[in-house]
C-alpha cells in the first residue's frame, strides 16, 4: 500500500533543476494509463479467456463429445442449487462475515423439510415449500442473533449451526432419499425456456438482481462499506448491525428458495448430499473475485465462476477421469485463479 501511496503523488518532476526556486505548482498529473489499462482488462477477463481456452481444448480432445447439445445442457441446466447457495454465501461475505459455513446445511435443511412434509406428513406441496423457506429463514435469524447480537465468532456459530442442521435433516429423513410424488410442481424448475430449464434463468436473474443491489442502490453501497470497515460505516450513519443481521437472513432466504427449486427439479432430496456442496460453493465465490471486479466478491463473477468450474469438470470427466477430478479441479483452479487475480490487482493499484 505504501508503494502506491508514494507513487500516486509523485508524477511529474519539479520544473527545473534542483534548487528550490518558485517554479509553479507542485501538482501532479495522472500517470500514463496505457500499461495498467491493459493489465486491468486482463485481470477482469482472464478467467473468461481461460474458459474459452478450456472449451477449445476439450473440443479438440473429444471431437463430437464435448461440443454437443447434451454437454451444453448438462453444464447450464444443473447448477441452480449452486447459484442460490453462492449468492447466499456472498450476502454475508460482502458485509465482512468470514465465513458462513452453514450455507449448504441451511439449504439441505430446507430441502429435507419439503419432501418430508409432503411424503411423511401428507402436506400439500406449496404449503410445504413455504414452511421450508420459513425454516431456512429461522436458521438465518438464529445465525444473525448469535453472530451480530451475541457477538460469537462467525465460524464457530455457522460451523455449529450447520452441523446441527445437517443432523436434524438426517434425522427427519431417516437417512433416506425422500421422493416426491410426481406433480406439476416440477414445472417451476424444469420448464424449458429457450432450450434451457427455467431454473437457469432464475439463477441468472438472482445474480443480476444482487449485482444491481450492490452496484446501484444505497443498501448495496452500505453493505460494501460495512464489509470494508464497520467503524467507518458506523461513524457515517450506517446501521451496521442491522445490515449484518439482514445479510444472514437474506442468505438463508437464498438457501431456502434454492432448496425449493432444487427439490422441484430433481423431485427428491437426500440430506447426506448437503455437505458435498461446501467446496463448490466456496470455490465459486472465491473464483468470482478473479472475474469482472478483481479482488472483490461480486455476484456476476461468482455466477460466471460456477459455469467455468462446471465446464472444466464436465470436460475432464468426458476425458475419462474419475470423480476425484472434481476435488482436484475445484481446489486447484480456486488457488491459481485467485492468486493471479490478486497479483494483477496489486500491480494495477
* Residue 141 backbone phi and psi in degrees, to 5: -65, -45
Q: How far is the CB of 237 from other proteins (least distance, A)?
A: 3
Cβ atoms of 118 and 132 within 8 Å: the answer is no
CB closer to other proteins, 28 vs 273: 28
Alpha-carbon span 59 to 318, nearest angstrom: 11
Q: How far is the CB of 10 from other proteins (least distance, A)?
A: 4
Q: How far is the CB of 22 from other proteins (least distance, A)?
A: 5
Q: How far is the CB of 225 from other proteins (least distance, A)?
A: 6
Q: How far is the CB of 246 from other proteins (least distance, A)?
A: 12
CB closer to other proteins, 122 vs 231: 231
Tally of CB atoms within 10 A around 226:
24
CB closer to other proteins, 31 vs 193: 31
Region at 340 (left for phi over 0; alpha for psi -120 to 50; beta for the rest): alpha
Cβ atoms of 132 and 114 within 8 Å: the answer is yes
Alpha-carbon span 318 to 321, nearest angstrom: 7
CB closer to other proteins, 4 vs 150: 4
Report the SS3 class of residue 16: coil
Tally of CB atoms within 10 A around 133:
21
CB closer to other proteins, 40 vs 62: 40
CB closer to other proteins, 174 vs 217: 217
Half-sphere exposure of residue 310: CA atoms within 13 angstroms, side-chain side: 21
Q: How far is the CB of 229 from other proteins (least distance, A)?
A: 4
Tally of CB atoms within 10 A around 295:
16
CB closer to other proteins, 140 vs 227: 227
- Would you tell me which residues interact with other proteins (CB under 8 A)? 1-15, 18-28, 30-32, 35-36, 216-219, 221-222, 224-225, 228-229, 231-242, 347, 349
CA angle 67–68–69, rounded 5-degree value: 135
Peptide linkage before 99 cis (omega within 30 of 0): yes
62, three cell numbers: 473429444
Q: How far is the CB of 3 from other proteins (least distance, A)?
A: 6
CB closer to other proteins, 8 vs 335: 8
Strand pairing of 196-197 and 177-179? Answer: unpaired
Q: 230: buried, middle or exposed (CB in 10 Å: 19+, 13-18, 0-12)?
A: middle
Q: How far is the CB of 293 from other proteins (least distance, A)?
A: 11
Amino acid at each position: 500500500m505504501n508503494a502506491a501511496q508514494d507513487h500516486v503523488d509523485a508524477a511529474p518532476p519539479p520544473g527545473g533543476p534542483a534548487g528550490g526556486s518558485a517554479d509553479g505548482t507542485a501538482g501532479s498529473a495522472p500517470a500514463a494509463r496505457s500499461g495498467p489499462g491493459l493489465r486491468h482488462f486482463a485481470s477482469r477477463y482472464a478467467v473468461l479467456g481461460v474458459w474459452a481456452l478450456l472449451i477449445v481444448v476439450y473440443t479438440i480432445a473429444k471431437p463430437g463429445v464435448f461440443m454437443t447439445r447434451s454437454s451444453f445442457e448438462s453444464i447450464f441446466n444443473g447448477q441452480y442449487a449452486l447459484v442460490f447457495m453462492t449468492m447466499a454465501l456472498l450476502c454475508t461475505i460482502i458485509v465482512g462475515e468470514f465465513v458462513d459455513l452453514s450455507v449448504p446445511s441451511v439449504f439441505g435443511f430446507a430441502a429435507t423439510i419439503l419432501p418430508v412434509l409432503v411424503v411423511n406428513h401428507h402436506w400439500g406441496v406449496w404449503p410445504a415449500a413455504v414452511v421450508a423457506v420459513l425454516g431456512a429463514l429461522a436458521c438465518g435469524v438464529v445465525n444473525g442473533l448469535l453472530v451480530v447480537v451475541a457477538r460469537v465468532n462467525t465460524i464457530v456459530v455457522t460451523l455449529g449451526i450447520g452441523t446441527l442442521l445437517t443432523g436434524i435433516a438426517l434425522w427427519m429423513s431417516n437417512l433416506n432419499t425422500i421422493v416426491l410424488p410426481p406433480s406439476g410442481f416440477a414445472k417451476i424448475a424444469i420448464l424449458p425456456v429457450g432450450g434451457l430449464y427455467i431454473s437457469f434463468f432464475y439463477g441468472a436473474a438472482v445474480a443480476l438482481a444482487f449485482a444491481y443491489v450492490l452496484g446501484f442502490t444505497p443498501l448495496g453501497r452500505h453493505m460494501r462499506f460495512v464489509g470494508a470497515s464497520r467503524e467507518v460505516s458506523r461513524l457515517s450513519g450506517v446501521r451496521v448491525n442491522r445490515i449484518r443481521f439482514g445479510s444472514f437472513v437474506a442468505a438463508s432466504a437464498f438457501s431456502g428458495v434454492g432448496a425449493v427449486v432444487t427439490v422441484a427439479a430433481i423431485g427428491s432430496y437426500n440430506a447426506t448430499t448437503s455437505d458435498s456442496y461446501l467446496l463448490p460453493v466456496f470455490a465459486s465465490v472465491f473464483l468470482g473475485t478473479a472475474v469482472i471486479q478483481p479482488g472483490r466478491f461480486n455476484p456476476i463473477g461468482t455466477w460466471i465462476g460456477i459455469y467455468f468450474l462446471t465446464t472444466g469438470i464436465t470436460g475432464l470427466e468426458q476425458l475419462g477421469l474419475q470423480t476425484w477430478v472434481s476435488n482436484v479441479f475445484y481446489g486447484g483452479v480456486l488457488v491459481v485463479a485467485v492468486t493471479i487475480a490478486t497479483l494483477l490487482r496489486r500491480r494495477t493499484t
